[in-house]
Amino acid sequence: MKKIAKKTAPKTTSKINTDVRVILREFDESIDWEAVKKHFKGKCVYCGKEGELHKDHAIPVSEKHLGLSRPGNIVPACRQCNSDKAAKHYSDFCRYHTRDGKIAKRRRDAERDITEYMKSKSYKKLGKNEAERDKIRKIISDSRKEMGKIRSEAIAKIEKIIVKKPAKKVAK
């Protein structure tokens, strides 16, 4: 019988963010992706490249930023900018200085364009003020810890089913 190595589930950013997304997904609204691309003239909002565009959350869907998948928060990004931006807030990413003066100017313009776009779509942060957002973060943090416990218990139960120990030999 093939031996299965026991895995410990480290607290990875991916698992944490997946738990956060499960909760925040409940507040999402539908987005007309074609209209978003048209608004930004079919170009990456951050560098201006044309071509394959990805949906980027200007304000990340994370416990820190509490971004949502709603009109105004989804912007087009090329693969490179989407990857470089990662989980940064769009303002932080746009203010990041590059050695390429043209890209640096485009990013300054992008910060303005995204802010205006959010206003035009009436994008609102989750919670009315920072005190409410702190309460929301606490709820998400507590829920994430509970989900981690449930996930660990489920893994242990499954391992008991699939990892069968050989029967002990009885001495005569």
Percent with pLDDT over 90 in the chain: 60
Return mean pLDDT, the chain.
Answer: 85
DSSP state of 122: T
- Give 39-72 pLDDT, tens digit per residue: 999 999 999 999 999 999 999 999 899 999 999 9
> Angle at CA 13, nearest 5°, toward 3 and 155?
35
Residue 122: how many CA atoms within 13 Å on its side-chain side?
A: 1
Which residue in this structure is represented by tokens 């959010």? 118
Per-residue confidence (pLDDT) for residue 22, from 0 to 100: 84
pLDDT at residue 57 in the model: 96
Class of residue 146 by CB neighbours under 10 A (exposed 0-12, middle 13-18, buried 19+) = exposed
Quick one: pLDDT band at residue 136, thresholds 50, 70, 90? very high
Using pLDDT thresholds of 50, 70 and 90, give the confidence band for residue 1: very low
Give pLDDT, residue 16: 63
Distances (CA, A) of 116 to 63, 113, 121, 159, 169: 24, 5, 9, 52, 74
pLDDT level of residue 168 (50, 70, 90 thresholds): low
99-132 pLDDT, tens digit per residue, is: 666 677 888 899 999 999 999 999 988 888 999 9
Q: What percent of the chain has pLDDT over 70?
A: 82
- Identify whether the C-beta of residue 104 lies closer than 8 Å to the C-beta of residue 44: no
